[in-house]
């Protein structure tokens, strides 16, 4: 089955700096890669996703890049703000039994220092 | 549009007691997922439903866990008897249909087994 590795496990940045979180996956059949943000005690919220037919996607201050050959994808947050502090999870998805199944990384705790 | 609803939000029980969690997916969503999230980890899939059919329950510990989605809408996950190691957050997620890759999560039920 799919295995997703996520690094780093913790990340501290100064407000205004950029943050980068990296993930690798094992199943070459995976074709959908979402990123979720989870604040303490709250639900995981989808912040951005990318499909295997594109290499990069941007949404305001966040961007995701995908390298299918190397089987890794990354989340980039620019101009970080204190409200970006949360745990971020990457995931990889492939079809099994006719519907998509997500395998998550272990998460990165991002702390933005004011 | 209402999101995925789960109840209760918190549950504290003693080991060997039974417990049940309830989930109501986003209206019209046919695919429903139950995940378990241990502290400091990403969500791990327990079971996936397409309407009322469990299409993937390979990760569900069937000796003590059971789930149902009788009418293909809301779902119940049960543990009987609970063990100390079952303490975790139980998350429910839904997708519009089996061909949809995006999953929307509920707030989860935090279970503490004493």
Each residue's pLDDT tens digit, A53-95: 889 999 999 999 999 999 999 999 999 999 999 999 999 987 7
A105 shares contact with chain B (CB less than 8 Å): yes
What's the whole-number mean pLDDT along residues A7-31? 96
Residues whose CB falls within 8 Å of the CB of residue B16, separated by 6 or more in sequence, listed in order: B81, B82, B83
CA-to-CA distance for A17 and A60, rounded, in angstroms? Answer: 15
Nearest CA among B83, B53, B78, B52 for reference residue B66: B78
pLDDT at residue A97, as a whole number? 59
Of A43, A49, A106, the CB nearest to B107: A43
Calculate how close chain B gets to A114, using CA atoms only, in Å.
24
DSSP state of B9: S
Tell how far CA A19 is from the center of its chain.
Answer: 12
CB B15 within 8 A of CB B114: yes
- Reported residue count of chain B is 114
Low-confidence stretches of chain B (pLDDT < 50) are none
Task: State yes or no: pLDDT of A23 exceeds 60.
Answer: yes
Calculate how close chain A gets to B84, using CA atoms only, in Å.
21
CB contact under 8 A, A97 and B56: yes
Q: pLDDT > 70: what percent of chain B?
A: 98
Task: Calculate the average pLDDT of chain A.
Answer: 93
Calculate how close chain B gets to A33, using CA atoms only, in Å.
9
pLDDT at residue A41, as a whole number? 86
Task: Calculate the average pLDDT of chain B.
Answer: 93
CB contact under 8 A, A100 and B95: yes
A96 shares contact with chain B (CB less than 8 Å): yes
Encoding tokens for residue A37?
A: 């943000």
CB contact under 8 A, A46 and B104: yes
pLDDT at residue B100, as a whole number? 76
Tell how far CA B22 is from the center of its chain.
Answer: 8
pLDDT at residue A63, as a whole number? 97
What's the whole-number mean pLDDT along residues A27-50? 93
Which residues of B1-114 form beta strands (DSSP E)? 5-7, 10-13, 19-24, 31-37, 44-50, 53-56, 65-68, 75-79, 88-95, 104-105, 109-113
pLDDT at residue B1, as a whole number? 57
Convert the pLDDT of each residue in B92-103 to its tens digit.
999 987 777 789
Encoding tokens for residue A66?
A: 């995908």
């Amino acid at each position: 089955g799919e295995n997703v590795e996520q690094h780093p496990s913790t990340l501290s940045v100064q407000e205004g700096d950029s943050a980068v979180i990296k993930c690798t996956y094992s199943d070459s059949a995976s074709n959908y890669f979402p990123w979720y943000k989870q604040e303490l005690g709250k639900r995981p919220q989808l912040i951005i996703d990318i499909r295997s037919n594109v290499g990069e996607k941007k949404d305001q201050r966040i961007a995701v890049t995908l390298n299918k050959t190397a089987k890794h994808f990354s989340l980039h947050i620019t101009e970080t703000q204190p409200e970006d502090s949360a745990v971020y999870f990457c995931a990889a998805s492939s079809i099994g039994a006719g519907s998509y199944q997500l395998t998550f990384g272990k998460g990165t705790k991002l702390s933005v220092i004011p | 549009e209402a999101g995925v609803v789960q109840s209760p939000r918190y549950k504290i029980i003693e080991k060997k007691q039974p417990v049940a969690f309830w989930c109501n997916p986003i209206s019209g969503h046919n695919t429903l997922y139950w995940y378990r999230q241990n502290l400091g980890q990403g969500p791990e899939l327990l079971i996936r439903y397409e309407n009322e059919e469990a299409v993937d329950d390979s990760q569900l510990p069937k000796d003590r866990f059971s789930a149902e989605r009788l009418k293909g809408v809301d779902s119940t996950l049960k543990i009987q008897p609970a063990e100390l190691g079952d303490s975790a957050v139980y998350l429910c997620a839904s997708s519009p249909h089996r061909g949809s890759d995006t999953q929307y999560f509920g707030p989860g039920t935090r279970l503490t087994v004493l």
